Structure 1
């Protein structure tokens, strides 16, 4: 019986550690692409690239308050992604846009996440049954 209880604990811990990974993916999804910035600022794609703080020699140049600073990248091939707060700061401070409204819609919960929640609920029920019989 203790082996089953240990297995349930192990699985519950494993599923519990998956939660931060899912929220980290959600945080990454909250970043804005060049197209999203283009729509928010009502500027052309070329303008967004002109505003962006990029350099052909430096992958992640230092912060420049007069430019639109993208998030850090690991490779030059990665697309430019911008944090919504940075886009709002740039719009207000540099472009002098008075009112900036940036809406971020949370992505829907994935099927995998729903299944993991159901598995965890069933494992908790099994654990309670095992503990009640011991």
Structure 2
């Protein structure tokens, strides 16, 4: 399921309509997987196969309720999905990049201090060795 999208059941609850009504409102065409936007219909998100479930963006459901059904207030609740392996991997990559950035900033700061003191710049690889000594996990 795509992030932030809702299915027929949630649309049915949000619009307070029967499942059959929601299907009648929906802009679908058995011959065309991607029908053009229809402002008088409830437009689902793109699908890769006719057998994929219909999914809707909450803003589209709210637009349809307001503009077509003339419902004054519609509450569409989107629940956060549990984190996926991909999200966890991306989080780990982000954390590693932050660590690298922090170390580079630290090295840049030390290099700047060396120039202020008038000392000669220390070999960058020696500094990396000092920082990495025992702090780097095995790959």
TM-score by length of 2: 0.62
> Within 5 A, what are the aligned runs for 1:1-134?
28-107=2-81, 110-128=87-105, 131=108, 132=110, 133=122, 134=124
- Give the Cα separation in 2 of the matches to 1:128 and 1:55: 56
The Cα shift of 1:130 comes to 5.1
Structure number with greater Rg is 2
- Give the Cα separation in 2 of the matches to 1:50 and 1:92: 17
Structure 2 segments unaligned to the other structure (5+ residues): 111-121, 125-139
Structure 1 segments unaligned to the other structure (5+ residues): 1-24
Structure 1 SS opposite 2:23:
helix
Whose relative contact order is higher, 1 or 2, with alpha carbons under 8 Å and at least 6 apart? 1
- Give the Cα separation in 1 of the matches to 2:18 and 2:50: 22
Give the alignment's Cα RMSD to 1 decimal: 2.6
- Give the Cα separation in 1 of the matches to 2:36 and 2:95: 45
Name the count of aligned residue pairs.
108
- Give the Cα separation in 1 of the matches to 2:74 and 2:65: 7
- Give the Cα separation in 1 of the matches to 2:46 and 2:18: 23
